Amino acid sequence: MATKQVSLPAKLINGGIAGLVGVTCVFPIDLAKTRLQNQKNGSMLYTSMSDCIIKTVHSEGYFGMYRGAAVNLALVTPEKAIKLAANDFFRHHLSRDGQKLTLLREMLAGCGAGMCQVIVTTPMEMLKIQLQDAGRIEAQRRLMPQAAEVSPQCPVEAKSPTAMQITRELLKTKGIAGLYTGLGATLLRDVPFSIIYFPLFANLNSLGRHEADSPAPFYWSFLSGCCAGSTAAVAVNPVDVIKTRLQSLTKGSQEETYSGVTDCIRRILRHEGPSAFLKGAYCRALVIAPLFGIAQVVYFLGVGEFLLGFLPQQNN
């Protein structure tokens, strides 16, 4: 049987559509995750995910839950497209005559995908985190006078900044490197995530196939994506906490700034204890599970291939 050819344009379309649908569904939970991770013991506004969402809706309105969504929706298409397409690309080229990949090769493919995606992921999350956390800083000023003084690392005011304002100020003061603050932490999160996620998904998904060459049912792909995504998300949550702290440029007066990954780990352990690395873990699992479940369904339904089928074919 001939080896199935990878259609890169179709994979890019599939990844983009999956990212748009998934982010729209789970963004409020992602906002709660960011705000919970940035809280320091002693100046906590939110006690749980549901408490954060309720207080956000009460103080900022329904659309307050979607602060930063525009940036995410704009950049999640290339981000998810690169991630999924790169994994497929590496798997295709690491396979030997179409045979099943070994676990090591599956992990190498996931590693390659994780390294490729940070080109888009780092600036996307950098901007998204500033917008998501601005409401928490505003609420802290109003409700907790002792934390009213704000210590900014970025000259943009904490109150209702826009993505363009933040981008301009970062480029003006720090250059392109400003948009890539936390790159090391992003790599430390996304590479292990992909190493865990993609092999786990591939093996879970293969259990649902009735025949070796037949695709698994869409519901099985969805469940496999959810299970693999939530497992990988919880596994790398400590690094996600570090990344979120490093990329938050505006902090309350009682909240610390960090010089790097090692400094962040040391300060969190000293002042908050090991449990701080699990902040927002269940929120992250709730975000990633449907996000990747939806992604894999769109991917395996072949929406991109279907759309490309309407384009005129060129003869070689």
CA distances from 2 to 87, 89, 105, 133, 306 (A): 21, 17, 21, 51, 21
pLDDT confidence of residue 145: 55
List of residues 6+ apart from 276 with CB closer than 8 A: 41, 241, 268
Say what the pTM is: 0.83
Task: Single out the residue of 259, 143, 242, 250 nearest to residue 189, CA to CA.
Answer: 242
Going by pLDDT thresholds of 50, 70 and 90, the confidence category of residue 316 is very low
Ranking 72-81, 182-191, 251-260 by mean pLDDT, the lowest is 251-260
Q: What is the pLDDT of residues 197-251, one digit of tens each?
A: 989 998 998 898 877 677 778 888 889 989 999 999 999 999 999 999 999 887 7
CA distances from 201 to 178, 225, 275, 289 (A): 34, 6, 28, 12
CA distance 71 to 83: 18
**Greater pLDDT, 147 or 67:** 67
Higher per-residue pLDDT: 188 or 161: 188
Residue ranges covered by each domain of the chain: 26-308
pLDDT over 90, % of the chain: 36
Predicted confidence at residue 315, as pLDDT, reads 46
Q: Is 166:130 a contact under the CB 8 Å cutoff?
A: yes
pLDDT of 93 strictly over 70: yes
Question: Looking at 51-55, 126-130, 301-305, 312-316, which range is the least confident one?
Answer: 312-316
pLDDT at 156 over 70: no
**Calpha distance 248→134 (Å, rounded):** 10
Average pLDDT over the chain, rounded to an integer: 83
The CATH architecture to which 26-308 belongs is Alpha/alpha barrel (1.50)
pLDDT tens readout for residues 184-202: 999 999 999 989 998 999 8
